[in-house]
Amino acid sequence: MAVRVEHNFDLTNYNSYRIKATCKRAFFPSCEEDFMEIYAHGLNDKIIIGGGYNIIFSKEYYNEDFIIVGDSYSSIRLDGENIISCEAGSSTKDLSEFALANSLSGVEIFYDIPSSLGGAVVMNAGASGEEIKDILVKVRYLDLADMQIKEIMQEDIGYEYRNSLFQRETNKVVLKAWLRLTPGDPEGIRNKMEAVKEARWAKQPKEYPNAGSVFKRPPGHYVGPMIDELSLKGYRVGGAEVSKKHGGFIVNIDNATGQDIINVIKHVQQKVREKFNVDLEIEQRII
Ligand SMILES: Cc1cc2nc3c(=O)[nH]c(=O)nc-3n(C[C@H](O)[C@H](O)[C@H](O)COP(=O)(O)OP(=O)(O)OC[C@H]3O[C@@H](n4cnc5c(N)ncnc54)[C@H](O)[C@@H]3O)c2cc1C
């Protein structure tokens, strides 16, 4: 096999919660042919991750193969007037810096949303009223149903808040995305990138491993204030705790397992349901 593969691979540095987990094999594709080759060896025992910034490992050992879409598949280039194409493993930080270097505006908020492009397309990542779907033109993907590579236009991806066709149909592997940006003044672009980052760092618990907001924002409510009102900040199971800085985050304060995190989530959901009659939906993907 030409694709890089590692056996008994330690996943601790491939999930931002820093949960300790190992998988039987990890593949690191670097081209479309690598994806075809990996799936030619079986479709059902494979788990795909990008940056691992929105996942919770529920097991310590995975018999499944992991496909890690990252640095090895991360080219970013100009592809037409104001269009940038990105391979799925490119990081949103690199994308925003590439856009700045080319005086293009539209991805400033992604400077501080840790993500691979593939993950952002699947999750419809965003902040402050902006989402990846707003600038997306089309996506190239591998359809595992017939092993064909296809392209789909943004309007056919069924985007919703933090949701997409790719989340609902997990037999589609995002390979590449095209984004349409707008020409802008480099100083203004840089200022927005820095301002967004500063505002976010002031609010988020950067001192402990986490995976961003745990829950989706329920219509008509804000998660943080509900958790504050229930005095759940600091609520702890094992090594996982509701952040004392921001109630919408769970942090790994001392060797948390995925199960610790899941137990904190269940407790918060139950308390919020009892008090506010609101069902909190998890944004993070439990694997
Ligand atoms: C500090 C911090 C702050 C955050 N702030 C925000 C925020 O403001 N807004 C926001 O939206 N999110 C935020 N997040 C969450 C995270 O940044 C996003 O969800 C991000 O898009 C996840 O991308 P990823 O590459 O890490 O995906 P992963 O976590 O690796 O995967 C997420 C899901 O996508 C699937 N997937 C990944 N790549 C592919 C692919 N190529 N093809 C098919 N499926 C794939 C995985 O199977 C999984 O189900 C934050 C996270 C952290 C740690």
266 plus 152 within the same structural domain: no
Evaluate whether residue 208 is within a structural domain: no
| Annotation marks residue 283 as catalytic | yes
**Cα angle for residues 18, 284, 74 (degrees, 5° grid):** 70
Ligand 1: residue of 46, 49, 284 to mutate (most ligand atoms within 8 A of CB) is 49
> Domain range for residue 18?
4-71
Residue among 91, 164, 213, 243 flagged as catalytic: 213
Q: Express each pLDDT in 53-83 by its tens digit.
A: 999 999 999 999 999 999 999 999 999 999 9
- CA distances to 79, 115, 228, 250, 273 from 123, rounded to whole Å, are 24, 10, 26, 19, 25
pLDDT tens for 266-282 read: 999 999 999 999 999 99
Answer yes or no: is 212 within a domain: no
Share of the chain above pLDDT 90, in %: 97
Read off the pLDDT of each residue in 32-61 and give the average, rounded to a whole number.
Answer: 94
* Per-residue pLDDT at 41 exceeds 90: no
Determine how β-strand 285-286 pairs with β-strand 148-153. unpaired
- The number of domains in the chain is 3
Pocket residues: Cβ below 6 A from ligand 1: 16, 48-55, 69, 88, 113-116, 118-120, 122-123, 125-127, 166, 173-174, 204, 210-212, 285
Q: What percent of the chain has pLDDT over 70?
A: 100
- For atom 44 of ligand 1, the residue with the nearest CA is 173
Within a domain: residue 213? no
Regarding pTM above 0.95, the answer is yes
**93, part of any domain:** yes
Q: Give the CATH number of the domain where residue 83 resides.
A: 3.30.465.10
Tell me how far the alpha carbon of residue 237 lies from the centroid of ligand 1, in angstroms. Answer: 24
Annotated catalytic residue 162: yes
Residue 1 pLDDT class (50, 70, 90 cuts): low
pLDDT in tens, 165-189: 999 999 999 999 999 999 999 999 9
Whichever domain contains 280, its CATH number is: 3.90.78.10
Q: Are residues 79 and 112 in the same domain?
A: yes
